[in-house]
Chains A and B, each alone.
Chain A
Amino acid sequence: MNWDWEKLQKQQQGRPGGKPPSFDDFQDQLDKLKKFKLPGWKLVIPLLILLWIASGFYIVEPDEVGVVKQFGKFNRITTAGPNYHIPYPVESALTPKVTQIRRVEFGFRSVGRPITQSFQQGVSREVKEESLMLTGDENIVSVQFIVQYMIKDAENYLFNVNDPEQTLAHAGEAAMREVIGNGKIDDALTTGKQEIQVQTRDLMQRILDDYKTGLSVVAVQMQNVHPPDEVIEAFKDVASAREDKSRYINEAEAYQRDILPKARGEASRITNAAQAYKEAKVRKAEGDAARFLSVLKEYDKAKDITRDRLYLEAMETILSNPDTEKLIMSDDALKQSIPYLPLDKQPRSAAPKEAK
């Protein structure tokens, strides 16, 4: 290196002389340039070797796992943190994300977002050729669902199946259709959802394990299950018919609850009125009897005079009525004018007679 410096300095010292560069100078410089390469080699080769060695460093993030291949053959799994492999072409490393839970949609597509990310509820588009499926009772139902999955075996995931994600999508469709095909439409629409999800997940897992995809199905979740658009109105009508049924029954029960207490009230009124009648009747009888007996007691003491008094009082009451017409005539006159009734044959009374 030293000599290089010297030459450079020499050249620079010569320059201030103001002489234009001659051919000799040019030749000189060319030589220098040729020689200049030598220190470059010495610098670059170790640097390249250093870089090559350094290229073996790689970092495995916490959500990843490192998979090292040696001459293309799987060699080892490394864990999170800084790691080293023998540089290319001997070894190479892959770092799949194994803790990340991915998501794939069946029967619909979320609008405006990548499939693997969380989606906005309600902003989706149905994919009918995926969602419509036959049920075991020969009906058609539209099922939209998602599958969450993750990598459980990085080695299998990377090396065993051509396209694990595509395989999962196929398996998911096949599994859900098989499970739905084994059940009835009402299971899918109402209470059987949980069971269907579990069965589908198990079936998917079994298929994926058969293929050694290295994938693990975390969950199968049905998003939107409904009858096909063509028949949805009829299904809704069944629901409202069921409501109607209970409404009719409720109305009838309301009627029942309205009239029966009223009837019982009425019944109680009727019996109480009868009771009242009875009591009143008895009491009146008792009263009348007591009165009669009291009067009878006094009557027994003075029979004739009481009898006369009562008779006169009665006549007085009768005749004092201004509406009553009174006529006094002798027996003879009576015989001459009208047919008569023998008034005097009444033994005790004053023989008042109606002659109207």
Chain B
Amino acid sequence: MKKTTILLAIVVILGAFVLTSAAFTVDQTQQAIVIQLGRPVGDRALGPGLHFKLPLVQTVVFFDARILDFDAKPEEITTTDKKYMNVDSYTKWRITDPLTFYTKVRTIQGARARLDDIVRSQLRVALGRYTLIEVVSHKRQEIMDAVTKRSRELLLPYGIEVLDVRIKRTDLPAENARSIFGRMKAERERQAKQYRSEGQEASAKIKANADKERTIILADANKQAEIIRGEGDALATKVYATALGQNPDFYEFTRSLEAYKQGFAKNTRFILTPKSPFLKHLQ
């Protein structure tokens, strides 16, 4: 009775030990390969789930199954128009073939070194074919696609799949930035000057036009006034002529008298002879 209990306990403990050292789980974020005495077992990596191995002789190596990030250091690159720019890129990659990966690069660090070599040189090659402004604007996608494609081909033998090489920042070295600032400033100053002189131009035009209009309005008015006056004079003349024509002799007489009255009103010396008709009653 007691013996069997002890035996049972030993079996249970041993079984548990074997089970725990034989069974292993691979997380959803991982993949694994089994190594038997330094050699990979099987031709496929293990996906997530519960797996078994031989205790002691087999060991498990885990690899990340997720998309990994490789953020390269910014690098100065010369474009085809001989301009310098700092290009900061990142690469998204994944271990697609852990067996190959394990035999060729072994670790993530090793992979990073390969990525650094290949992506960097591919970027340099691709960017060297374009001008700065092409890199910055419309050729950007094209360049990234080309670099991604080429890097993917070159890294496939390492069990690595390059998903995307993307240019994050494209900055200018400080001295180039300064010259751009200078140009931006000059451009804006030119624009400001243009605005101001356009304003002055428009202002002068409007004022001159107004002055012209004023002169014309006044001249028109004066012309009109002379015509009206002339009409008045003509009409008056006609009226006078009609009336006075009835007895020109009498008009001349009365008008003369009127003229004498007005004409002799001041500083006049009269010398009258007794024969004057005015004095006939004085005789």
Contact = CB atoms under 8 A, between A and B. Distances in A.
B191 A350 contact: no
A31 interface: no
Contacts of B277: 311, 350
B264 A139 contact: no
A237 B185 CA distance: 10
A278 B232 contact: yes
Interface stretch (B36-44, B110-118, B154-162, B248-256): B248-256
Interface string B228-251: 110111011101101110110011
Nearest to A172: B168
B218 A170 contact: no
A299 B278 contact: no
B236 A314 contact: no
B268 to A, nearest CB: 5
Given A134-B136, A134-B172, A247-B199, A278 B231 contact: yes
B225 A73 contact: no
Interface stretch (A41-49, A113-121, A160-168): A160-168
A6 interface: no
Contact of A253 (B66, B206, B278): B206
B236 A231 contact: no
A158 B66 CA distance: 10
Interface string A318-332: 110101111111110
A89 B25 contact: yes
Interface residues of A, number: 123
A318 B260 contact: yes
Nearest to A171: B166
Interface stretch (A12-20, A95-103, A258-266): A258-266
B72 to A, nearest CB: 11
Q: What range describes how many residues of B lie at the interface?
A: 35 or more
B164 A273 contact: no
Contacts of B229: 274, 277-278, 281
B232 A182 contact: no
Interface in A292-335: 292-293, 295-296, 299-300, 307, 310-315, 317-319, 321, 323-331, 334
Interface stretch (A32-40, A50-58, A145-153, A238-246): A238-246
Nearest to B67: A161
Contacts of B265: 318, 321, 323
B247 A296 contact: yes
A355 B270 CA distance: 7
Contacts of B213: 260, 263
Interface stretch (B5-13, B99-107, B119-127, B137-145): B137-145
Nearest to B259: A314
B66 A162 contact: yes
A299 B236 contact: no
B54 interface: no
Contacts of B225: 270-271, 273-274
A311 B277 CA distance: 10
B171 A129 contact: yes
Interface in A217-238: 227-228, 230-231, 234-235, 237-238
A299 B254 CA distance: 11
B246 A293 contact: yes
Interface stretch (A22-30, A78-86, A191-199, A282-290): A282-290
B271 A285 contact: no
A256 B206 CA distance: 7
Nearest to A352: B270
Interface in B88-106: 90, 92
A319 to B, nearest CB: 7
Interface string B184-223: 1100110111111011101111110111011001101110
A271 B202 CA distance: 33
Contact of A274 (B137, B195, B224, B271): B224
Nearest to A74: B28
B76 interface: no
11 contacts: A134-B171, A173-B168, A181-B140, A245-B202, A246-B199, A255-B210, A267-B221, A282-B236, A321-B264, A328-B279, A329-B272
Given A160-B66, A162-B64, A167-B69, 4 more contacts: A231-B181, A256-B210, A274-B228, A307-B253
Interface of B: 25-30, 47-50, 64-69, 71, 90, 92, 132-133, 136-138, 140-141, 163-164, 166-172, 177-178, 180-181, 183-185, 188-189, 191-196, 198-200, 202-207, 209-211, 213-214, 217-218, 220-222, 224-229, 231-233, 235-237, 239-240, 242-244, 246-247, 250-251, 253-254, 256-258, 260-261, 264-279
**A-B complex: 4 closest residue pairs judged by Cβ atoms:** A278-B232, A245-B199, A289-B243, A267-B221
